[in-house]
A = this chain, B = another copy of it.
Amino acid sequence: MSHTIKEKSRLLARVRRIRGQVEAVERALEAELGCADVLQLVASVRGAMNGLTVELIEDHMRHHVVDPATEPDRERARGASELLDVIRTYLK
């Protein structure tokens, strides 16, 4: 993955928050909370997973395909940036 330390720690922080949210679902089930409350907790995990997915895709694009910020070929840079916009639209 050879990404920057900063990116790695940011991704790890995101995943740990998601683990915390999944543990909250577990506690809610154990405590027999109402289905609707449990379902809303699960929906928030899904939202967090989408956010993690978009960040991973952006990192992958930058490190292994084209980095819109540093790519000398301006058409490629624009194409990569447009693709990331589309992916955010679909996964938000």
- Which residues of A line the B interface, CB within 8 A? 1-3, 8, 11-12, 15-16, 18-19, 22-23, 25-26, 29-30, 32-36, 38-40, 42-43, 45-46, 49, 52-53, 56-57, 59-61, 63-66, 75-76, 78-80, 82-83, 85-87, 89-91
Contacts and interface: CB of A to CB of B under 8 A. Distances in A.
A35 B56 contact: yes
A15 to B, nearest CB: 5
Contacts of A18: 22
B25 A15 contact: yes
Copy number in this complex?
4
A24 to B, nearest CB: 10
A85 B38 CA distance: 13
